[in-house]
Copies of this chain bind each other. A is one copy, B any other.
Amino acid sequence: MVVVLGLDPGSRVTGYGIVAETSGCLSLVEAGTIRPPAKRDLPYRLGKIYSGLAEIISRHAPQESALENVFVYKNVQSALKLGQARGAALAACTVAGLPVAEYEPTKVKKSIVGVGNAPKDQVAFMVARLLGVANPDWAEDASDALAVAICHLNQRRLNHLAGL
């Protein structure tokens, strides 16, 4: 069994999704969001992102982690803010010894629905379908995190088939 932690870091909401694969079958382990108190300052919220993820990693012991490699930002300030959230999240993964894989957003979508430019709700629908969950109650950020976890598991299988 391989267990992968998918992440969608953000300074207000950090989505996470843990997916297990056993003999080619995917199953949901846990999905959710970390939402540090909005009234506290950014450094405090970054600490909560770190410690929240550290707790989730210690509870489910995923072997690998994955997130989207985002290159487009509205402006320098939003890049700085998102960068700090990513920094706290990535530190939590690598301090726990998890390798981190990064994927282009189009690659994640293609891995889930077959095309790279699909609308968000189509991807969310297929994420639930692939995990066999009829009425998902997870937030959008959690769904995005599950998508990148599934993408990574697909990529691992392709690498394995290709003998990489």
| Residues of A in contact with B (beta carbons under 8 Å apart) | 41-44, 46-51, 71, 73, 75-77, 79-95, 100
When distances are taken between beta carbons in the complex, the residues of chain B under 8 Å from A90 are 42-43, 46-47, 84, 88
B95 engages A47 (CB within 8 Å): yes
When distances are taken between beta carbons in the complex, the residues of chain B under 8 Å from A100 are 41, 43-44
Known: A43-B91, A43-B100, A49-B91. 10 other contacts (CB 8 A): A43-B90, A47-B91, A50-B50, A50-B95, A80-B82, A80-B83, A80-B86, A82-B83, A84-B84, A91-B91
Contact with A76, one of B42, B51, B79, B91 (Cβ below 8 angstroms): B79
B86 engages A51 (CB within 8 Å): no
Instruction: Provide a sorted-by-A list of 13 A–B residue pairs whose CB atoms are within 8 angstroms.
Output: A41-B100, A42-B90, A43-B93, A43-B100, A44-B94, A44-B100, A47-B90, A47-B94, A50-B92, A81-B83, A84-B84, A84-B86, A87-B91
Copy tally for this chain in the complex stands at 2
When distances are taken between beta carbons in the complex, the residues of chain B under 8 Å from A81 are 83
Which of A42, A46, A48, A49 has the most C-beta atoms of chain B within 10 angstroms of its own C-beta? A46
CA of A48 to CA of B93, assembled, Å: 11
When distances are taken between beta carbons in the complex, the residues of chain B under 8 Å from A89 are 87
When distances are taken between beta carbons in the complex, the residues of chain B under 8 Å from A49 are 91
**From A49, which residue of chain B is reached at the shortest CB distance?**
B91
CA of A46 to CA of B73, assembled, Å: 21
CA of A82 to CA of B23, assembled, Å: 41
CB distance from A95 to the nearest CB of B (A): 5
Give 9 nearest A-B pairs by CB, closest first.
A83-B83, A87-B87, A47-B94, A84-B87, A50-B91, A43-B100, A88-B91, A43-B90, A79-B79
